[in-house]
């Protein structure tokens, strides 16, 4: 990361956009940020499953893709409720709303920052968890691809929920109630792809569907988030 | 024509399905009605005394 | 007083519709129950348990219909900020949630004698379950905010996002289901529904629609009264 001094701030649109991204990524990895929290949760929660279902390698191998995906989804979810809340509470969201990017652009920047800072580390560490869960050798590639293609949808859909609950005190539970049903298709396609590879079937179709889900989320996510944020700023 | 009381082993399931439906729908209807009555009475009570006209007069 | 003008008109319209809704409900319910229990034969394969269908399938239809009402109201609210539309969604949601829960429960009670299990992760049941969660979310967001207007707009946004997602959820669940389910799934939509079965189905569907109209109108009146109350309380506080 280049440590650009604050005084030479870039005032072009992309400059503002990436300024927000950089700031949020830095915040996520600073003391008490969501980055380390989500990553630790991911590691610990996955290791609970062998204790729950027993250490038989075949059973673990069978459930590995689903477990890794579900826990990644939950890790993403618990990091979401602060996505806009901190900025909303200290008033910086009001300033951001006035920036030439518009709220949609601001939301997009914050979603990108969330994905880079919180979700991407989960993707990077997932092969280690695959080893712990005895994931079949051939499935690692598809697991990584499915996470890379599918997790943006998690950040984008979650952003809509986070924006809707931004002014709600202790909105975390409400957020999960709103967002989890919308995560169902992403989860199904992603695990379908990894399962297909593990069963030596071509995973192209589920991966394509997963990509489509992410693209649709990309189309509506920032826009809906901005609409929801505007409500609370009024 | 079949006998209502001779449905064999599935009887409890059929009666249960209709029973649950009846209970839930009646409960929702009664709750809605009573809540509406209570709210309407409260509106009447709160309404300023000086113009105690029915709603028709407003529009 | 223009704030009340619209609701007053609505109340008059509702009072004109209500007696008819009661009449249709009573007639179709009595005839529908008669057909469902006495006027229709037991199914060739399922026997008497097919009678559950006459309450299960209409409930499932109503579950979807109510979501359409919520979504339509949300769209109207979102685009035109119509003051009654926001209340229509709020009024319809609990009815929809009830019908969705009933579809799930009666489905389970139908599944036990026919499939041998209360629950099967079958495409329809699973997507109805997700629909139930969407209703829960919609109602929860209404309760989460003190300011009714904001809560209503937030709930509208959620309902519209839900509408975009419903077909995707439906499709993904069906897709997932064919992936995991053995081929011999019992399916209702065979071509062999006889007229004997269509009539009770049709009658019960009408009864449920009439029930919806009835309870929906009362709930609309309820929400309008609540709105009036909060206005009256406001004016009392501010003098």
Banded pLDDT at B54 (limits 50, 70, 90):
low
How high is the mean pLDDT of chain C?
83
The mean per-residue pLDDT over the stretch C78-106 comes to 90
User: CB C191: neighbour CB atoms within 10 A?
Assistant: 4
A179-A181-A183 Cα angle (round to 5):
70
Quote the DSSP letter at residue A106: H
Q: CA–CA separation, A120 vs C201, rounded Å?
A: 52
**Is-contact C201 C43, C-beta < 8 A?**
no
C148 shares contact with chain A (CB less than 8 Å)? no
Q: Which of C134, C153, C175 sits opposite A231 (nearest CB)?
A: C153
Nearest-Cα residue of chain C relative to residue B38: C222
In chain C, which residues have their Cβ closer than 8 Å to the Cβ of B39?
222, 225-226, 229
| pLDDT higher than 80, residue A100 | yes
Q: CA–CA separation, C146 vs C152, rounded Å?
A: 10
Q: CA–CA separation, A83 vs C3, rounded Å?
A: 37
Are A185 and C172 an interchain contact pair (Cβ–Cβ within 8 Å)?
Answer: yes
C52 shares contact with chain B (CB less than 8 Å)? yes
Helix, strand and coil percent figures for chain B, each rounded to 5: 80, 0, 20
C143-198 residue pLDDT tens: 888 788 888 889 999 999 998 888 888 888 888 877 665 444 445 554 456 677 78
Closest CA to B3 of C48, C214, C60, A7: C48
Q: Which residues contact A14 (CB under 8 A, 6 or more apart)?
A: none
Q: CA–CA separation, A140 vs A143, rounded Å?
A: 5
C73 shares contact with chain B (CB less than 8 Å)? no
Are A178 and C173 an interchain contact pair (Cβ–Cβ within 8 Å)?
Answer: no
Say what the pLDDT of residue A44 is. Answer: 93
Beta bridge partners of C43: C47
Nearest-Cα residue of chain C relative to residue A231: C150
Q: Tokens 């609950």 belong to which residue?
A: A165
Identify the residue among B3, B25, B58 best suited for mutation to test binding to C, counting C beta carbons within 10 A and taking the highest: B25
> How many secondary structure helices (H) and strands (E) does chain A include?
10, 0
CB-based touch C/B (3+ pairs, under 8 A): yes
Say what the pLDDT of residue A2 is. Answer: 41
Identify the residue among C74, C179, C180, C181 best suited for mutation to test binding to A, counting A beta carbons within 10 A and taking the highest: C179
Q: CA–CA separation, C130 vs A92, rounded Å?
A: 36
**Is-contact C216 C84, C-beta < 8 A?**
no
Q: Where are the domains of chain A?
A: 16-233
Closest CA to A83 of A13, A171, A18, A12: A171
Nearest-Cα residue of chain A relative to residue C180: A192
B25 shares contact with chain C (CB less than 8 Å)? yes
Say what the pLDDT of residue C152 is. Answer: 87
Say what the pLDDT of residue C184 is. Answer: 41
Say what the pLDDT of residue A36 is. Answer: 86
The mean per-residue pLDDT over the stretch C225-234 comes to 84
Q: How far is CA A62 from CA A190, A193, C176, in A?
A: 15, 13, 16
CB pairs under 8 A between A and C: 73
| C-alpha R_g of chain A | 18
B5-43 residue pLDDT tens: 566 777 888 888 999 999 999 999 999 999 999 988 988
A214-A216-A222 Cα angle (round to 5):
90
SS3 (DSSP) at A34:
helix
C169 shares contact with chain A (CB less than 8 Å)? yes
Count of residues making up chain A: 234
Closest CA to B58 of A89, A128, B48: B48
**Is-contact C104 C56, C-beta < 8 A?**
no
SS3 (DSSP) at C195:
helix
**Is-contact A41 A78, C-beta < 8 A?**
yes
In chain C, which residues have their Cβ closer than 8 Å to the Cβ of B20?
102, 105-106, 109
Banded pLDDT at C104 (limits 50, 70, 90):
very high
In chain B, which residues have their Cβ closer than 8 Å to the Cβ of C228?
43
Q: Where are the domains of chain C?
A: 53-180+197-222
User: CB A98: neighbour CB atoms within 10 A?
Assistant: 10
């Amino acid at each position: 990361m280049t440590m650009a001094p604050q005084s030479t701030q870039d005032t072009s649109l992309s400059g503002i956009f990436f300024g927000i991204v950089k700031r949020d990524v830095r915040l996520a990895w600073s003391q008490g940020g969501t980055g380390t929290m989500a990553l630790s949760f991911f590691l610990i929660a996955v290791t609970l499953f062998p204790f729950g279902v027993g250490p038989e390698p075949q059973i673990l191998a069978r459930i590995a893709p689903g477990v890794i995906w579900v826990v990644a989804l939950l890790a993403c979810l618990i990091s979401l409720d602060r996505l806009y809340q901190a900025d909303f509470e200290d008033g910086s969201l009001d300033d951001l709303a006035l920036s030439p990017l518009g709220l949609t652009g601001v939301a997009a920047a914050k979603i990108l920052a969330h994905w880079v800072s919180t979700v991407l580390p989960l993707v990077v560490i997932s092969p280690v968890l695959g080893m712990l869960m005895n994931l079949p050798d051939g499935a690692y590639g598809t697991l990584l691809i499915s996470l890379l293609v599918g997790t943006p949808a998690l950040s984008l859909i979650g952003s809509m929920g986070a924006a809707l609950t931004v002014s709600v005190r202790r909105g975390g539970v409400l957020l999960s109630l709103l967002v989890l049903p919308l995560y169902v298709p992403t989860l199904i396609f992603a695990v379908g792809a990894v399962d297909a590879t593990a069963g030596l079937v071509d995973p192209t179709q589920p991966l394509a569907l997963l990509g489509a889900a992410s693209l649709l989320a990309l189309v509506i996510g920032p826009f809906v988030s901005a609409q929801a944020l505007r409500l609370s700023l009024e | 024509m079949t006998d209502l009381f001779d449905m064999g082993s599935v009887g409890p399931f059929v009666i249960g399905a209709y029973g649950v439906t009846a209970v839930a729908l009646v409960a929702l209807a009664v709750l809605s009605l009573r809540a509406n009555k209570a709210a309407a009475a409260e509106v009447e009570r709160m309404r300023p005394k000086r113009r105690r006209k029915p709603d028709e007069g407003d529009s | 007083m223009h704030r009340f003008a619209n609701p007053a008109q609505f109340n008059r319209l509702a009072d004109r519709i209500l007696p008819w809704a009661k009449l249709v409900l009573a007639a179709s319910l009595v005839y529908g129950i008669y057909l469902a229990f006495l006027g229709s034969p037991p199914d060739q394969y399922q026997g008497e348990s097919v009678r559950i269908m006459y309450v299960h399938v209409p409930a499932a239809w109503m579950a979807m219909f109510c979501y359409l009402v919520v979504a339509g109201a949300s769209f109207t609210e979102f685009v035109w900020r119509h003051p009654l539309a926001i209340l229509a969604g709020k009024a319809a949601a609990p009815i929809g949630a009830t019908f969705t829960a009933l579809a799930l429960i009666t489905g389970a009670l139908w599944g036990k004698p026919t499939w041998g299990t209360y629950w099967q992760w079958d495409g329809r049941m699973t997507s109805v379950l997700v629909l139930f969660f969407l209703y829960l979310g919609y109602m929860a967001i209404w309760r989460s905010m003190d300011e009714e207007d904001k809560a209503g707009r937030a709930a509208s946004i959620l309902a519209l996002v839900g509408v975009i997602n419903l077909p995707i959820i439906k499709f993904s669940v069906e897709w997932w289901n064919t992936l995991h389910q053995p081929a011999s799934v019992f399916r209702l939509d065979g071509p062999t529904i006889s007229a004997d079965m269509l009539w009770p189905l049709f009658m019960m569907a009408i009864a449920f629609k009439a029930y919806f109209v009835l309870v929906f109108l009362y709930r609309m009146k309820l929400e309008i009264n609540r709105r009036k109350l909060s206005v009256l309380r406001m004016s009392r506080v501010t003098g």
